[in-house]
């Protein structure tokens, strides 16, 4: 009973679902009919509207809709007929592709079989060739093995020969090459060859070390070292003392050089073998730096032990300093040892050693200055025949002195302590001041002949040193020292005033400011003496010219051509000769200062001692203007474009003296009227504007009145 009941229920459910679908389809149909009715109504409203007269459009609308319906039916038929054709074409293309694929698979099978047969046939040849290559490889390894043995024997023979002929450094080089060979064999599997090479290397290393130790002890023994009792006065130096000193210098050099050699030999090994291991382990360690650090410990201990023993021998101490500085330079440069890691320079900064270093530098510098000043060519320039290189015309003594200071700078530039650098700077300033005092002393000896080449060379030397120090003041290294001097300079450079400290801190001043002021004073004093000497000579030659009868000279119209006054010739020749002579002896900046100073003094001299001292008629004024504009001014025209601008008093005085009578009288009236109207406001042009129209800018109205009175003899006509 249950089964029929279930079947009945299922049927009932099916009937219900069918009814539901029927109802839904009916509802959908009714919905579509409703939408269609709405579309028809909307179309009728759009095409016909509510006007009954528009019903005539119904037939046209019907025809239009009929035509559109027909076109849609044709499109449906066309699509229905083309679909089977496309499906058939696709099936044909698929069948064709399947046939081609089968053909390709067959070809692939045939080629695979052919290739397999070929490989089987070639395997026999490959096995045969592999056996031959293996034999060749074995022979090659044997050849290289024998070559290594031969190389070891060759190096051993060379070391033996070098030691027999006492060529120690050549033997060191051969051992170094043997060590390089050992480094190259570390990756090989020839353990017996490696063991033999290392035993040979240790053998020769021990022999060489024993020989160097023996030589060193022999030298020390001949020096009677160690001293177990106070030395006596009767102890005489050995006959070969100079040779012993040379040997001793080579043996302190040896361990510093050896440390650098060890660093160089191990550099590639540390970079290529050890560093990758450390990198893979994640260790933040530089293998080469750590090797250098370990080797430096040996050098530092040895230097710390040796340095105090050399304090009492200046020559050995200087050699030690040179070697340490060179060692530090190669360590930082060639081996790229970081600046943050200490080297060996701190050993030289130990107080006793550093004070000895300063003392030796001062002593040697003073000795060199004495030698350079007493040399035969001290006051001549080595570039005097090369124009392009002799712009500053610095004498050899000045150039050598500044080179000496530059060498001292390079020696202390790399020191890690600003206080030590400032101590050397103080030494340099002391040496510059001492050299300035020496220049002053030599200048006073030559002051009786200020036009001599030696006097001019001293002046060039002072200018050269001043120029170089000015350039150094803008150098980055000295600017850094300048900042250090603000904080710690009082202890080394002496107390700095508040103003000086402020100028140094703001970089307005320089470390050499006081020295530059002293050198400038020396240069100004010497240049003044030089100008005094030239002016004395010029004034002496100009006396006849100043006393010429300017009031009775013939007018310009009475002369066929104007020419230089005969009384002016000695003065002009004197000026020309001095200018040419000093242009050759003075550097360009100094000569510029000289001729400009000379022009200024000449302007005042001619204006005061010639023009204001005489009266001028028309011919005298014209002659003076001709002498000045055609002869004096052109002498200085070789050194500037408008030389008359350096003779403003003379130029403007000539303008006033050569004015025509009418303009001169008018100018007199303007000047007198301005005196009478002084303090009264009026609209008359000022005397200055009247003078400016004539080209007078330097002379005051009172000076112009004096000049006009000097031509009073012909103004009264």
Three-class SS of 15-40: HHHHHHHHHHHHHHHHHHHHHHHHHH
DSSP assignment of 560-593 equals: SS----GGGHHHHHHHHHHHHHHHHHS-HHHHHH
pLDDT of residue 55: 64
Q: CA 535, CA 602: separation in Å to the nearest integer?
A: 8
Q: Tokens for 22?
A: 């029927």
Q: What is the largest CA-CA distance in the chain?
A: 172
Structural domain total, the chain: 3
Residue where one domain finishes, among candidates 522, 547, 572: 547
Q: Tokens for 585?
A: 């002896």
CATH of the domain at 614: 1.20.58
Residue 413: name the closest of 404, 401, 396, 425 by CA. Answer: 425
pLDDT of residue 388: 58
Answer whether 629's CB lies under 8 Å from 644's CB. Answer: yes
Going by the DSSP 8-state scheme, the letter that residue 232 receives in this structure is P
- Residue 545: count other Cβ atoms within 10 Å of its Cβ: 21
Residue 492: name the closest of 439, 549, 553, 427 by CA. Answer: 427
Question: Distance between alpha carbon 347 and the CA centroid of its chain, in Å?
Answer: 31
Q: Tokens for 274?
A: 């050890």
Residue 577: name the closest of 610, 534, 536 by CA. Answer: 534
Answer whether 163's CB lies under 8 Å from 208's CB. Answer: yes
Answer whether 609's CB lies under 8 Å from 603's CB. Answer: no
**Whether residue 407 sits in one domain with residue 389:** yes
Q: Tokens for 122?
A: 């070639």
Calculate the dihedral angle through the C-alpha atoms of 643, 646, 648, 649, rounding to the nearest 10 degrees: -120
Residue 241's contacts (CB-CB under 8 Å, 6 or more residues apart) are: none
- Residue 670: count other Cβ atoms within 10 Å of its Cβ: 18
- Residue 222: count other Cβ atoms within 10 Å of its Cβ: 16
**Whether residue 509 sits in one domain with residue 389:** yes
Q: CA 459, CA 608: separation in Å to the nearest integer?
A: 30
pLDDT of residue 628: 94
**Whether residue 488 sits in one domain with residue 389:** yes
Residue 486: name the closest of 511, 518, 513, 469 by CA. Answer: 511
Q: CA 583, CA 576: separation in Å to the nearest integer?
A: 11
**Whether residue 566 sits in one domain with residue 488:** no
**Whether residue 612 sits in one domain with residue 506:** no
- Asked if the structure places residue 603 within a domain, the reply is yes
**Whether residue 605 sits in one domain with residue 539:** no
Answer whether 605's CB lies under 8 Å from 699's CB. Answer: no
Answer whether 635's CB lies under 8 Å from 660's CB. Answer: no
- Asked if the structure places residue 698 within a domain, the reply is yes
- Asked if the structure places residue 586 within a domain, the reply is yes
Question: Distance between alpha carbon 241 and the CA centroid of its chain, in Å?
Answer: 47
**Whether residue 580 sits in one domain with residue 503:** no
C-alpha distances (whole Å) from 599 to each of 105, 181, 639, 656 are 110, 79, 11, 21
CB-side neighbour CA atoms (13 Å) of 632: 27
Residue where one domain finishes, among candidates 512, 547, 582: 547
- Asked if the structure places residue 132 within a domain, the reply is no
- Asked if the structure places residue 49 within a domain, the reply is no
Residues in the chain: 717
pLDDT of residue 272: 82
Task: For CA atoms 26, 27, 30, 36, give the dihedral sign.
Answer: negative
CB-side neighbour CA atoms (13 Å) of 214: 8
Phi-psi region of 224 (alpha: psi -120 to 50; beta: other; left: phi over 0): left
Q: CA 437, CA 426: separation in Å to the nearest integer?
A: 17
- Residue 322: count other Cβ atoms within 10 Å of its Cβ: 12
Answer whether 178's CB lies under 8 Å from 200's CB. Answer: yes
C-alpha distances (whole Å) from 659 to each of 18, 615, 664, 668, 714 are 137, 15, 6, 11, 12
- Asked if the structure places residue 335 within a domain, the reply is yes
Answer whether 294's CB lies under 8 Å from 266's CB. Answer: no
Answer whether 658's CB lies under 8 Å from 622's CB. Answer: yes
Q: CA 611, CA 604: separation in Å to the nearest integer?
A: 10
Residues of the chain with pLDDT under 70: 1-36, 40-41, 44, 47-56, 79-84, 216, 219-251, 253-255, 384-390, 489-502, 505-506, 676-685, 712-717
- Asked if the structure places residue 320 within a domain, the reply is yes
**Whether residue 381 sits in one domain with residue 308:** no
Query: What are phi and psi for residue 174, nearest 5 degrees?
Result: -65, -40
- Asked if the structure places residue 703 within a domain, the reply is yes
**Whether residue 638 sits in one domain with residue 517:** no
Cis amide linkage into residue 226, ω under 30° from 0:
yes
pLDDT of residue 234: 38
Residue 651's contacts (CB-CB under 8 Å, 6 or more residues apart) are: 628, 629, 644
Answer whether 317's CB lies under 8 Å from 311's CB. Answer: yes
Residue where one domain finishes, among candidates 547, 564, 595: 547
**Whether residue 385 sits in one domain with residue 513:** yes
N-terminal to C-terminal alpha carbon distance within the chain: 171
Answer whether 565's CB lies under 8 Å from 623's CB. Answer: yes
**Whether residue 427 sits in one domain with residue 388:** yes
Q: In a 3-state reduction of DSSP, which class is residue 330?
A: helix
Full domain range(s) for residue 677 = 552-710
CATH of the domain at 470: 1.10.357
**Whether residue 467 sits in one domain with residue 402:** yes
Answer whether 480's CB lies under 8 Å from 413's CB. Answer: no
Q: Tokens for 208?
A: 């060489």
- Which residue is it, tokens 């002593």? 363
C-alpha distances (whole Å) from 364 to each of 6, 377, 521, 567, 600 are 129, 21, 28, 59, 46
- Confidence (pTM): 0.63
Answer whether 644's CB lies under 8 Å from 633's CB. Answer: yes
pLDDT of residue 212: 79
């Amino acid at each position: 009973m249950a089964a029929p009941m279930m079947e009945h229920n299922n049927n009932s459910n099916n009937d219900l679902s069918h009814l539901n679908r029927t109802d839904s389809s009916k509802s959908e149909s009714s919905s579509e009919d409703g939408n269609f009715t709405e579309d028809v109504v909307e179309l009728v409203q759009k095409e016909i509207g509510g006007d009954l007269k528009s019903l005539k459009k119904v037939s046209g609308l019907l025809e239009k809709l009929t035509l559109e319906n027909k076109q849609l039916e044709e499109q449906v038929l066309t699509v229905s007929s083309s679909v089977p054709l496309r499906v058939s074409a696709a099936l044909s293309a698929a069948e064709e592709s399947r046939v081609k694929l089968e053909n390709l698979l067959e070809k692939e099978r045939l080629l695979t079989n052919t290739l397999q047969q070929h490989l089987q046939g070639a395997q026999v040849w490959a096995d045969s060739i592999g056996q031959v290559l293996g034999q060749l490889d074995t022979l090659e390894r044997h050849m290289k093995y024998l070559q290594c043995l031969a190389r070891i024997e060759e190096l051993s023979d060379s070391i033996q020969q070098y030691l027999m002929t006492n060529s120690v450094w050549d033997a060191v080089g051969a051992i170094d090459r043997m060590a390089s060979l050992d480094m190259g064999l570390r990756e090989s599997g020839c353990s017996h060859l490696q063991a033999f090479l290392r035993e040979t290397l240790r053998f020769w290393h021990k022999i060489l070390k024993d020989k160097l130790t023996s030589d060193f002890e022999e030298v020390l023994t001949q020096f009677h070292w160690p001293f177990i009792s106070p030395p006596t006065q009767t102890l005489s130096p050995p006959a070969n003392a100079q040779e012993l000193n040379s040997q001793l210098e080579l043996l302190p050099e040896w361990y510093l050089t050896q440390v650098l050699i060890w660093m160089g030999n191990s550099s590639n090994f540390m970079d290529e073998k050890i560093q990758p291991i450390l990198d893979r382990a994640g260790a933040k360690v530089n293998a080469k730096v750590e090797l250098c650090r370990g080797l430096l410990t040996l050098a530092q201990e040895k230097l710390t032990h040796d340095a105090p023993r050399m304090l009492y021998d200046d020559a050995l101490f200087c050699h030690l300093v040179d070697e340490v500085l060179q060692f530090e330079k190669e360590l930082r440069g060639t081996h790229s040892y970081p600046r943050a890691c200490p080297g060996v320079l701190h050993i030289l900064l130990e107080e006793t050693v550093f004070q000895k270093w300063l003392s030796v530098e001062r002593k040697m510098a003073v000795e060199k200055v004495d030698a350079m000043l007493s040399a035969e060519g001290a006051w001549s320039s080595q570039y005097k025949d090369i124009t392009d290189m002799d712009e500053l015309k610095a004498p050899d003594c000045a150039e050598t002195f500044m080179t000496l200071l530059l060498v001292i700078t390079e020696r202390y530039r790399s020191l890690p302590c600003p206080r030590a650098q400032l101590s050397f700077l103080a030494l340099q300033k002391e040496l510059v001041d001492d050299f300035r005092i020496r220049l002053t002393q030599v200048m006073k000896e030559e002051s009786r002949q200020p036009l001599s080449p030696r006097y001019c060379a001293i002046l060039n030397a002072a200018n050269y040193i001043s120029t170089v120090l000015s350039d150094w003041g803008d150098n980055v290294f000295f600017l850094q020292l300048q900042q250090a001097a603000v904080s710690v300079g009082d202890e080394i450079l002496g107390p700095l005033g508040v103003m000086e400290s402020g100028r140094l801190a703001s970089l307005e001043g320089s470390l050499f400011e006081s020295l530059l002021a002293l050198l400038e004073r020396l240069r100004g004093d010497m240049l003044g003496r030089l100008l005094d000497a030239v002016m004395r000579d010029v004034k002496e030659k100009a006396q006849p010219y100043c006393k010429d009868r300017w009031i009775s000279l013939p007018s310009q119209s009475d002369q066929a051509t104007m020419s230089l006054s005969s009384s002016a010739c000695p003065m002009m020749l004197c000026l020309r000769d001095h200018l040419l002579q000093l242009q050759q002896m003075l550097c360009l900046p100094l000569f510029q200062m000289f001729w400009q100073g000379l022009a200024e003094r000449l302007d005042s001299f001619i204006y005061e001692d010639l023009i204001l001292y005489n009266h001028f008629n028309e011919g005298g004024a014209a002659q003076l203007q001709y002498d000045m504009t055609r002869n004096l001014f052109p002498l200085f025209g070789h050194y500037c474009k408008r030389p008359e601008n350096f003779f403003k008093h003379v130029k403007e005085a000539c303008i006033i003296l050569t004015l025509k009578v009418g303009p001169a009288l008018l100018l007199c009236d303007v000047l007198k009227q301005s005196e009478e109207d002084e303090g009264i406001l009026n609209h008359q042009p000022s005397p200055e504007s009247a003078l400016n129209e004539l080209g007078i800018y330097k002379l005051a109205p009172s000076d112009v009145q004096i000049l006009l009175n000097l031509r009073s003899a012909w103004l009264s006509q």
